[in-house]
Chains A and B, each alone.
Chain A
Amino acid sequence: MHEPVDANADLLTPPVLSIGGVTKRFGPLTVLDRCSLDVAEGEIVTLLGPSGCGKTTLLRCIAGFWAPDAGTITIDGADTVRVPVNRRPVGVVFQSYALFPHLTVAKNVAYGLRMRGMAKADIAARVARALETVALSDFAGRYPAQLSGGQQQRVAIARVLVLEPRVLLLDEPFNALDAKLRGAMQVDLRQLIKRLGITAIFVTHDQEEALTMSDRIAVMRAGRIEQLAPPEEIFDHPATAYVADFIGSSNFWQSHAEGGRVNLPDGQSAPSHRAGDVTIMVRPHNLAIRPGEDGPLKGAVGFQRNIGALVEYHVATDGGGTVRVMAMRQERGRSIADGTRVTLSILDPNLCAVYEPQ
């Protein structure tokens, strides 16, 4: 078992949102296990993990839809666990967007202000500004059913932004969009949140989305935060084999470490902070592939596919198992055909990660 990840990644300012040891059980099932996380002003933190890892549960605890069984959730230093859901300075963008189908776009955006009893003229002005922010001024009189998925998402965002929440919670907001739209919407949404300086928690199971959207990523597993770090660090230095497996594509080997070095499958060695049996991880782009059998790591190409300028080879190694190799695509005629005997070697041994044996 790992110790819970340390929540504080050297924040310079006091955190806007601070989650301390939050635990949530449903009957015998522990869905959240001592989760801790501090989020700084204007920061976007992503909760990333497969379904059932507890990311949505944590989001719902922050929003107040569910009460944690233990732990604290503070916003600007004030405990919010006992604050009712409709009094929290938190805005939620739902996976389904949850736009009110019987209200126009303008009335959807005005809803929260109306509930706060704001004067009609002030509401109109703020709704107009919010719709301008998300470039939907021309759609104020439409009903949600008359909008595209992307436009609906922007209404959902405007509807919470107009209330100026301290924390914005986004629950898989791109799920309902088709793949083509997603990429552009991710960039747009990140830029919007950054421009407005909003503190945001973003939930997704999609690693690409997480890498695009986040200042920091919290990779979750079975109710715990396994690693909390900026995207590059998560990708380049995954703290555990689980994180390495979840983010990007990875190859694993069992090996043995001694005297601060670990043996690599291609005959080289790399520095190791562990001793004894270990698991080593090598990224597909850290492997070189060449025809012929002149090294210890040999196999046959079983499958290959083009990914733009790159080719991914699946090599069935003689030791058993399949190794993924990512290489630049060669010009026609010089590519390696399926079935070819090849030798693999690790490009930079220092980029291999060493974990406890799996």
Chain B
Amino acid sequence: MTPRRQLADTLAIGAILAVAVVALILLVAPSIVVVIISFDTRAYVSFPPVGFTLDWYAKVFEETALVEAMLNSLQVGITVTGLCILLGVPTALVCVRGRFPGTTALSVFVLVPHMVPGIVLGVAVLFAGALVGVGPSIYLQSLSIAVFVLAVMVRTVMSRLQRLDPALEEASANLGASPFQTLATVTFPLLLPAILAGAVFTFVEGFDNLSVAIFTHGFRDRPLPVELLALVQTTNTPLVAAVSGVQIVLAIVALVIVAATIGLDRVNE
């Protein structure tokens, strides 16, 4: 390589690195700012802070509305995840292993709710629910978000399934397993990492979704995003920042648990 080519090469690699660093800063900076603000002694949001206090965190847990909203969102996250596993895994199996026409169409169709704006889906579910006499509630909210994010679970499981050696299932049958035994003892255990990866996404969406939930949640069971929206609309205290701080800590704890039990690499697969 000529020195000139070498210089151009070094600059190009350097530029890519620089972009990556900028991206990383953009990813992390807002969270850091929020966490810093959450310790401020002033009663309004401003940067940089002038003092240090844990009062806002204490207040988060004193506000029953906030604690209830967190518990509601936790319940929605878990329900959405359960629904997505229940609906998504069989759908993925049919899309990949099904031997009848329409499986490709089905695998594309599950994407549709995810591609429609959440607000549109929320309104649609609200009207459709009213038509059959189902009003907004924590259950309707869970169902509507599950429909919204089902595609993530289906797609994650499908891609794992497509990369699974078909000989594994044939070997299982050859060794005497019935189709259901094969599913239970070979296919499902091998899909587990993909299901867990999908579950992380569906749980976060269930916990955090605002666009769909704002129309479908029960008015006595407000989820956290709706509660937070109301909070920032009416007040300007670092309380909101403290709630975000709690969520960030929970997210880190969840990641550490995933890393320690199944490993981040397997989620990436």
Q: Is the CB of A116 within 8 A of B190?
A: no
Neighbouring B residues of A133 by C-beta, 8 Å: none
Task: Give the size of the chain A interface in residues (CB under 8 angstroms).
Answer: 23
Binding site for B on A (CB under 8 A): 63, 65, 85-88, 90-92, 94-96, 98, 100-102, 111-112, 115-116, 159-160, 163
Q: Evaluate contact between B168 and A100: CB separation under 8 angstroms.
A: yes
A98 and B170 within 8 A (CB)? yes
- A115 & B174 in contact (Cβ 8 Å cutoff): no
CB of B230 closer than 8 Å to a CB of A: no
Could you say which interface size class chain B belongs to? 10 to 19
Q: Footprint of A on B, CB under 8 Å?
A: 165, 167-168, 170-178, 181, 185-186, 189-190
When A101-B190, A102-B190 are in contact, do A112 and B167 touch as well, CB less than 8 Å? no
A115 to B170, CA, bound (A): 14
Query: With A92-B174, A115-B181 as given contacts, are A100 and B167 in contact (CB-CB < 8 Å)?
Result: no
CA distance A116 to B178 in the complex (A): 10
Which residues does chain A contribute within 8 Å of B177, judged by CB atoms? 86, 111, 115
Residues of chain B within 8 A of A159, CB atoms compared = 171, 175
Separation of A232 and B36 alpha carbons in the complex (Å): 84
Contacts of B186 in A (CB 8 A): 100
Measured CB to CB, the nearest residue on chain A to B174 is A92
A163 to B173, CA, bound (A): 13
| A163 x B176 contact (CB < 8 A) | yes
Q: Top 9 A-B pairs ranked by shortest CB distance?
A: A112-B175, A98-B167, A98-B171, A115-B176, A94-B167, A115-B177, A92-B174, A85-B173, A86-B173
Docked-complex contact A160 and B170, CB < 8 angstroms: no
Bound-state CA distance A14–B210 (Å) is 74
- In the assembled complex, the CB of A45 is this many whole angstroms from the nearest CB of chain B, namely 19
User: How many angstroms between the C-alpha atoms of A92 and B176 in the bound complex?
Assistant: 11
Give the residues in chain B near A65, CB-CB below 8 Å. 170, 173
The answer for the CA separation of A87 and B178 in the assembled complex, in Å, is 9
Q: A96-B165, A98-B165, A100-B186 are in contact. Are A111 and B173 (CB under 8 A)?
A: no
Q: Which of A63, A101, A102 has a CB less than 8 Å from the CB of B174?
A: A63
Residues of B contacting A: mostly? helix
Chain B residues lying within 8 Å of A86, measured Cβ to Cβ, are 173-178
Which residues of chain A come closer than 8 Å to B168, judged between CB atoms? Answer: 98, 100
Contact present for A94 and B176 (CB under 8 Å): no
CB of B176, distance to nearest CB on chain A (Å): 4
CA distance A92 to B170 in the complex (A): 9
Point out which of B175, B181, B185, B186 has the most chain A C-beta atoms below 10 A from its C-beta: B175
| Residues of chain A with a CB closer than 8 A to B181's CB | 115
Q: Which residues of B contact A102 (CB under 8 A)?
A: 189-190
Residue of B nearest to A85 (CB): B173
A111 to B175, CA, bound (A): 7
Nearest neighbor of A102 in chain B, beta-carbon distance: B189
Partner of A85, one of B165, B167, B174, B189: B174
What CA separation (Å) do A112 and B175 show in the bound complex?
5
Separation of A163 and B171 alpha carbons in the complex (Å) = 13
Q: Report the minimum CB–CB distance from B249 to chain A (whole Å).
A: 33
Q: In the complex, what's the smallest C-beta–C-beta distance from B226 to chain A, in angstroms?
A: 41
Bound-state CA distance A51–B170 (Å) is: 21
Question: For residue A92, which residues in chain B have a CB less than 8 angstroms away from its CB?
Answer: 170-171, 174
Provide the residues of chain B in CB contact with A98, threshold 8 Å. Answer: 165, 167-168, 170-171
Residues of A near B178 (CB, < 8 A) are 86, 115
**30 A-B pairs, CB-CB below 8 angstroms?**
A63-B174, A85-B170, A85-B173, A85-B174, A86-B176, A88-B174, A90-B174, A91-B174, A92-B170, A94-B167, A95-B167, A96-B165, A96-B167, A98-B165, A98-B167, A98-B170, A100-B171, A101-B190, A111-B175, A111-B177, A111-B185, A112-B175, A115-B176, A115-B177, A115-B178, A115-B181, A116-B176, A159-B171, A163-B175, A163-B176
4 more A-B residue pairs beyond the given contacts A111-B177, A116-B176, with a C-beta to C-beta distance below 8 A: A88-B174, A96-B165, A101-B190, A102-B190
Interface centre among A88, A98, A159 (most CB of B within 10 A): A98
Closest to B171 in A: A98
How distant is B255 from chain A, measured CB to nearest CB, in Å? 24
Contact in complex: A112, B190 (CB < 8 Å): no
- C-alpha spacing A98/B189, complex, angstroms: 15
Which B-chain residue is minimally distant from A92 (CB atoms)? B174
Q: CA of A115 to CA of B178 in the docked complex: distance in angstroms?
A: 8
What CA separation (Å) do A98 and B168 show in the bound complex? 5
Shortest C-beta distance, B151 to chain A (Å), equals: 27
Chain B nearest CB: distance from A266 CB in Å? 51
Q: In the complex where A65-B170, A95-B167 touch, is A115 in contact with B189 (Cβ < 8 A)?
A: no
In the assembled complex, the CB of B181 is this many whole angstroms from the nearest CB of chain A, namely: 6
User: What residue of chain B has the Cβ atom nearest to residue A114's Cβ?
Assistant: B185
Cross-chain contact A94 with B175 (CB below 8 angstroms): no
Give the CA-CA distance A156 to B175 in the complex, in Å.
Answer: 11
B167 partner residues in chain A, CB cutoff 8 A: 94-96, 98
Residue of B nearest to A65 (CB): B170
Find chain A residues with CB under 8 A from B185 CB: 111
Most chain A CB atoms below 10 A, which of B171, B181, B185 = B171
Which residues in A have their C-beta under 8 angstroms from that of B165? Answer: 96, 98
Q: Which residues on the A side are within 8 Å of B171 (C-beta)?
A: 92, 94, 98, 100, 159
Chain A residue at minimal CB-CB distance from B192: A102
- B159 → chain A closest CB, angstroms: 17
Q: How far does the Cβ of B101 sit from chain A's closest Cβ, in whole Å?
A: 15
Which A residue's beta carbon lies closest to that of B164? A101
Complexed CA–CA distance, A230 and B146 (Å): 64
**Distance of A98 Cα from B172 Cα, bound (Å):** 9
How close is A203's CB to chain B, nearest CB, in angstroms? 14
Shortest Cβ distance from A171 into B: residue: B167
Does the CB pair B190–A115 fall under 8 Å? no
| CA–CA, A112 and B181, complex, Å | 11
